[in-house]
Amino acid sequence: MNSKLLSFNRRVRTTPYSDRVEQAGVTSYTVYNHMLLPTLFDTPESDYWHLCQHVQVWDVSGQRQVELNGPDAAKLAQLMTPRDLSKIELLQGKYGPICNAAGFILNDPIIIKLTEDRFWLSVSDSDVKFFAQGLVQGYGLDVKVFEPDVCPLAVQGPKSEELMARVFGEKVRGIRFFKGEMLEFRGVEMYVARSGWSKQGGFEIYMCDWSLGEALWDELFANGEDLYVRSGCPQGNERLESGLLSYGNDMDEFDTPFECGLDSYLDLDADIESLSLPALKAMAGKQTRKLVGLAFDRSPHMQPSRLGGSDIEVDGEIIGEIRSQAWSFRYNKNLAIAMLPLTYLAKNDSITIDGQTSLFHSIPFDFDQLV
């Protein structure tokens, strides 16, 4: 499909940083949780190398929070994920798939424990807050579920720690991966975590006062000139290289955690009350397909699949689907994530698409295999 314009209206929400993002020269967007998410500023190659070398500020407001607030907050969080949350520490984030009773994935948030009775699900692109509200109502739980006024700003890249220390103080240097601290900006406490949707290092500022959005943006830029700070956004090529899955692209509500290689985030033997656990235990070891990584020398020409991926045909039969692909500037390969049948994976060690052959790779990719 050729490039097309995006229509703006209130249903596709702007963010506290939208004016700054526009001034920074954003050229395209996607829509994420009913909100604008920038996708490109310069060229994909320039955006990529800059991220790997310097520091970027990303408007990831579309990564909305679902707040669980009340005496039953921990109980509700545990009901929703098959990952054991009993040992989660205060201000820690844990990646945990949200599954329904049939074991299918509805979202894959970072679950953050703010206090004993206050959790945030930092969600990918689906209204999983409504699942939580339905559970609260049906089970009669004592917990409020809502989307608080929080618009995360990500600071990503190798110089992010230096920039963050200049704005939030030296304390940020001590924050470990997926841990966070409540830190002040202009007198307002914000949750700051070492996290973000790249593997170039970085932080996420859970900015919780809309009126401070532009001030925070400006302060990061004012302090980062010598670090070559610039605006950026999550990048398809970098996240594929890094093996970060994208909900809606690589997996959706018709997939299970086993099919998506999320086994290590399931605590099947834990003594926890999680509504998907019975179904997941019953299906363990029985999946018939799996996500694998593919790498081609050039972008293959393929038939679009029904939902916007690309069908994988073997001997005239559609056996699977490429769900994401992007050009890796680092490896000069076209990287892809595909769902393929285990029967095919067991009998073959490679697949040929459009005249090009790729071995099956683990996700994340093992780059020694690529070069």
Residue 247 beta carbon to a copy of itself: minimum distance, rounded to whole angstroms: 8
Q: Which of 192, 166, 198, 168 is nearest to 179 (CA)?
A: 192
Residue with Cβ nearer a copy of itself (159 or 323): 323
Q: Which stretch binds a copy of itself (CB under 8 A): 10-18, 63-71, 162-170, 347-355?
A: 10-18
Residue 236 beta carbon to a copy of itself: minimum distance, rounded to whole angstroms: 7
Residue with Cβ nearer a copy of itself (196 or 234): 234
Choose, by CB under 8 A, the member of 45, 116, 130, 186 that binds a copy of itself. 130
Residue 61 beta carbon to a copy of itself: minimum distance, rounded to whole angstroms: 11
d(CA 361, CA 367): 9
User: Residues 42-61: x/- map of binding to a copy of itself (CB under 8 A)?
Assistant: --------------------
Query: Is the dihedral angle over the CA atoms 49, 41, 148, 140 positive or is it negative?
Result: negative
d(CA 175, CA 173): 6
User: Residues 277-306: x/- map of binding to a copy of itself (CB under 8 A)?
Assistant: ---------------------------xxx
| Residue 138 interacting with a copy of itself (CB under 8 A) | yes
Six token digits for residue 219? 């302060």
Contact 172, 183 (CB under 8 A): yes
Six token digits for residue 272? 């926890």
Six token digits for residue 33? 């949780």
Residue with Cβ nearer a copy of itself (132 or 154): 132
Residue 48 beta carbon to a copy of itself: minimum distance, rounded to whole angstroms: 15
| Residue 164 interacting with a copy of itself (CB under 8 A) | no
Residue 32 beta carbon to a copy of itself: minimum distance, rounded to whole angstroms: 8
Residue 78 beta carbon to a copy of itself: minimum distance, rounded to whole angstroms: 14
Neighbouring residues of 350: CB distance < 8 A, sequence distance ≥ 6: 357, 358, 359, 360
End-to-end CA distance of the chain: 31
Give residue 230's identity as a one-letter amino acid code. R
Choose, by CB under 8 A, the member of 106, 163, 294, 336 that binds a copy of itself. 106
d(CA 8, CA 326): 27
Q: Which stretch binds a copy of itself (CB under 8 A): 81-89, 112-120, 126-134, 166-174?
A: 126-134
| Residue 330 interacting with a copy of itself (CB under 8 A) | no
Residue 262 beta carbon to a copy of itself: minimum distance, rounded to whole angstroms: 18
> Interaction with a copy of itself in 228-257: which residues (CB under 8 A)?
236, 246-249, 253
Choose, by CB under 8 A, the member of 43, 116, 308, 318 that binds a copy of itself. 308
Give residue 325's identity as a one-letter amino acid code. Q
Neighbouring residues of 75: CB distance < 8 A, sequence distance ≥ 6: 141, 143, 273
| Residue 207 interacting with a copy of itself (CB under 8 A) | no
Choose, by CB under 8 A, the member of 73, 309, 312, 361 that binds a copy of itself. 309
Neighbouring residues of 234: CB distance < 8 A, sequence distance ≥ 6: 37, 39, 58, 60, 197, 198
Choose, by CB under 8 A, the member of 324, 328, 334, 358 that binds a copy of itself. 324
Q: Which long-range contacts (CB under 8 A, 24 or more apart) does 189-192 make?
A: 191/91, 191/112, 191/114, 191/120, 192/164, 192/168
d(CA 105, CA 366): 26
Residue with Cβ nearer a copy of itself (240 or 295): 240
Six token digits for residue 334? 């076209």
Q: Which stretch binds a copy of itself (CB under 8 A): 2-10, 113-121, 168-176, 312-320?
A: 2-10
Query: Is the dihedral angle over the CA atoms 99, 103, 104, 105 positive or is it negative?
Result: positive
| Residue 135 interacting with a copy of itself (CB under 8 A) | yes
CA 96 to chain centre: 11
Positions touching a copy of itself (CB under 8 A) are: 1-14, 16, 18, 22, 26-31, 34, 39-40, 100-101, 106, 125-128, 130-140, 147, 210, 236, 246-249, 253, 275, 304-309, 323-324
